[in-house]
């Protein structure tokens, strides 16, 4: 038996929402901000609401027409009236169907428009966050903000709005119609309402707990699959032979999901059965009492039939309206979680009056100190793993770093792992801001330059050469979208990787796989170098750019890099000291400080850390040979 206004399962879904959202304070600022999004769709919302109201009213018309068909048509023997009213019922049904289609179109237009606006705002805002934000944020939680929370916010303008308006209008019209037909039977039907609401409340509370459990378990399954299904995760499982253990761990969580799903299904069935039973009892009461009155000629048969039909439209809206606060609060909480991301101001952004770079390819560090920013400055606790929220305060990484890279010269950074070499290179393109001192590019403080202009002037090849799951051509054109195929082949040739691409069946259209895992480490590195050559920046930063190359490839690529870096300023982080012998200046970094500087020959003659590193590496290479 239909409950009208959406059905039992729809109501069950609403009541399974976490009731804790009802404790969230209704901020006037939040509500005003939410309503500000409605202004862009106010015309569509107005038409949508009119359709919702008309649809709610139209649902009451057929039972009233049915009353006249029976009383004034069938029982009175008026065939013409029966035909006319039957056609009217059909006409109302056709009109209501048309209104429903129009209502759905406007609902989709409003909802999808809102989703587009929120998603693009969040995406643009997140991509504008500093690197520190991404180093701390849990990717899955961030993606959830862009997906589920945006969808939850959308419900405020479509599902929740239509539910509230249609149920209020429908309930009001239904009650008025029922009271006008028989206030006595209407009161009798409402007597069962408390009995009707008891299972709804009990099931709503129980389902909330089970739903939270199911969401947590499904989140664990999703996280496990995301990590194990990535190329690196799958490789780790295979290399350590842990497939059986992974199956057992996954099966335990999946079994818990299964048990929870069964309980939710059974409780849901109990809920729907209870509602059906109570509504059937109400119908039985109306027919019983109404039938008695009809026999005594105090009520017509048509009125009795109309009351029974209207009764089915009474209980559904009543139950949905009892849970409307949860609906509204759930939508507001989703909005609040989206706004939380939008309100996180990027710590690195263009300052007022920022200008383009001067075009002079010089780099200078003046007494630079740096400490990685704490979580409170760059991230949100709700987007971080639980273990990351209680981290200790960060310690200084760089102290008193000063050096100059003249235009067209090369400076190399060497030193033990973790000494701060990569961090120094990150400050050049303002991936982080210094905590003391100044970094200058072309004689200008990088904080006074436009980020787009600065980063267009600086090109990087990092040790972990990332490639998108796309074609070789698309990955290369990430540096220059307007590059021609000839320019791509020229860059590939200079990076000593053109012959490889020519051997591939699809050439530039070859898909490289997730993070470029269909390629070897050396091949990815050479493609990254080709991407750098295509960008052709005035300042080049190479952070272990030849780390994954074999000796033969390293020589070839180093030759290409040497040719490409002519006339450009270069900062090179190198583990293999043999690759930076020709550098104009070598800076030896230890524990965040520059402890030695000079040319290769000068540093070897002076002894110290550089000499120790060189001798240790040379001895190791000699031993391998």
pLDDT in tens, 59-108: 889 998 988 999 888 888 888 999 999 999 999 999 999 998 998 898 88
Distance CA 348, CA 423 (A): 16
Distance CA 415, CA 262 (A): 59
Residue 196: predicted pLDDT: 63
pLDDT bracket for residue 204 (50, 70, 90): low
- How far from chain centre, in Å, is Cα 158? 21
Closest of 575, 582, 569 to residue 540, by C-alpha: 569
Who has greater pLDDT, 449 or 41?
Answer: 449
Lowest model confidence (mean pLDDT) among 99-113, 136-150, 474-488: 136-150
Residue 399: predicted pLDDT: 94
Cβ neighbours around 199 below 10 Å, total: 18
Lowest model confidence (mean pLDDT) among 121-130, 555-564, 603-612: 555-564
Who has greater pLDDT, 506 or 554?
Answer: 506
- 506 pLDDT exceeds 70? yes
pLDDT bracket for residue 319 (50, 70, 90): low
Distance CA 307, CA 312 (A): 9
- What kind and span of H or E run contains 412? strand 410-414
Query: In percent, how much of the chain has pLDDT > 90?
Result: 21
Token pair listed for 76: 């009175």
Residue 278: predicted pLDDT: 73
Domains of the chain: 8-342 (1.20.1560.10), 363-384+393-624 (3.40.50.300)
Closest of 278, 613, 226, 565 to residue 421, by C-alpha: 613
For the ranges 227-241, 429-443, 457-471, the one whose mean pLDDT is highest: 429-443
Burial 349-372 (b: 16+ CB within 10 A, else e): ebeeebeebeeebbbbbbebebbb
Residue 619: predicted pLDDT: 58
- For tokens 């961090």, name the residue: 423
CA angle, corner 534, sides to 532 and 535, nearest 5? Answer: 65
pLDDT bracket for residue 369 (50, 70, 90): very high
Mean pLDDT of the chain: 81
Can you state the angle between helices 231-239 and 193-229, rounded to 10 degrees?
Answer: 70
Query: In percent, how much of the chain has pLDDT > 70?
Result: 83
Confirm if 361 and 539 have CB atoms less than 8 A apart. yes
Residue 556: predicted pLDDT: 67
- What kind and span of H or E run contains 458? strand 458-461
For the ranges 231-235, 276-280, 574-578, the one whose mean pLDDT is highest: 574-578
Beta bridge partners of 539: 458, 569
pLDDT bracket for residue 571 (50, 70, 90): very high
Confirm if 488 and 476 have CB atoms less than 8 A apart. yes
Question: 155-173, pLDDT tens digit by residue?
Answer: 777 777 777 888 888 888 8
- For tokens 């500087």, name the residue: 597
131: Cβ–Cβ under 8 A, 6 or more apart, which residues? 426, 431, 432
Residue 156, CA atoms < 13 Å, CB-side half-sphere: 24
Closest of 47, 30, 9 to residue 331, by C-alpha: 30
Average pLDDT in the 242-261 region? 86
């Amino acid at each position: 038996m239909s409950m009208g206004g959406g059905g039992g399962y729809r109501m069950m879904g609403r009541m399974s929402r976490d009731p804790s959202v009802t404790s969230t304070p209704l901020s006037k600022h939040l509500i005003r901000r939410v309503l500000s999004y409605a202004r862009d769709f106010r015309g569509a919302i107005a038409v949508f609401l009119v359709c919702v109201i008309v649809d709610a009213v139209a649902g009451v018309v057929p039972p009233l027409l049915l009353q006249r068909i029976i009383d004034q048509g069938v029982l009175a023997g008026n065939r013409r009236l029966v035909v006319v009213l039957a056609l009217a019922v059909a006409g109302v049904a056709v009109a209501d169907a048309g209104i429903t289609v129009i209502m759905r179109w406007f609902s989709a237009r409003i909802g999808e428009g809102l989703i587009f606006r929120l998603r693009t705002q969040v995406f643009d805002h997140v991509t504008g966050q500093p690197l520190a934000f991404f180093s701390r944020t849990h990717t899955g939680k961030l993606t959830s903000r862009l997906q589920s929370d945006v969808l939850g916010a959308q419900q405020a303008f479509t599902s929740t709005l239509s539910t509230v308006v249609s149920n209020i209008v429908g309930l009001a019209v239904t009650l008025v119609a029922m009271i006008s037909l028989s206030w006595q039977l209407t009161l009798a039907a409402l007597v069962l309402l408390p009995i009707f609401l008891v299972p709804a409340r009990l099931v709503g509370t129980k389902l909330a707990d089970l739903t939270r459990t199911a969401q947590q378990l499904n989140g664990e399954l999703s996280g496990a699959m995301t990590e194990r299904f990535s190329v690196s995760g799958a490789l780790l499982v295979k290399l350590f032979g842990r497939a059986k253990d992974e199956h057992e761990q996954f099966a335990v969580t999946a079994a818990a999901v299964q048990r929870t799903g069964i309980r939710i299904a059974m409780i849901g069935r109990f809920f729907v059965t209870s509602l059906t039973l109570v509504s059937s009892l109400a119908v039985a009461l109306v027919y019983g009492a109404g039938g008695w009155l009809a026999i005594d000629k105090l009520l017509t048969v048509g009125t009795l039939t109309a009351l029974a039909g209207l009764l089915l439209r009474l209980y559904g809206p009543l139950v949905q309206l009892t849970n409307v606060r949860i609906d509204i609060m759930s939508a507001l909480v989703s909005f609040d979680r989206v706004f939380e991301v939008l309100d996180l101001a990027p710590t690195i952004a263009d300052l007022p009056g920022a200008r383009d770079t001067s075009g002079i390819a010089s780099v200078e560090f003046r007494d630079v100190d740096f400490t990685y920013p704490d979580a409170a400055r760059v991230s949100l606790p709700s987007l971080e793993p639980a273990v990351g929220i209680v981290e200790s305060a960060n310690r200084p990484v760089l102290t008193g770093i000063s050096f100059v890279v003249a235009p067209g010269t090369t400076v190399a950074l060497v030193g033990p792992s973790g000494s701060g070499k990569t961090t120094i290179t990150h400050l050049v393109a303002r991936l982080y801001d210094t905590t003391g001192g100044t970094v200058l590019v072309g004689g200008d403080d990088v904080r006074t330059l436009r980020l787009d202009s600065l980063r267009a002037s600086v090109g990087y090849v990092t040790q972990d050469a990332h490639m998108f799951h796309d074609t070789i051509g698309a990955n290369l054109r990430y540096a220059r979208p307007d590059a021609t195929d000839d320019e791509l082949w020229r860059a590939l040739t200079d990076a000593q990787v053109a012959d490889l691409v020519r051997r591939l069946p699809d050439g530039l259209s070859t898909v490289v796989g997730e993070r470029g895992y269909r390629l070897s480490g050396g091949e990815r590195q050479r493609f990254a170098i080709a991407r750098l050559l295509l960008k052709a920046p005035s300042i080049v930063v190479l952070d272990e750019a030849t780390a994954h190359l074999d000796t033969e490839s390293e020589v070839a690529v180093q030759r290409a890099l040497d040719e490409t870096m002519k006339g450009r300023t270069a900062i090179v982080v190198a583990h293999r000291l043999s690759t930076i012998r020709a550098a104009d200046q070598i800076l030896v970094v230890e524990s965040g400080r520059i402890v030695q500087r000079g040319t290769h020959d000068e540093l070897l003659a002076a002894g110290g850390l550089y000499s120790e590193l060189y001798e240790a590496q040379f001895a190791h290479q000699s031993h391998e040979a």
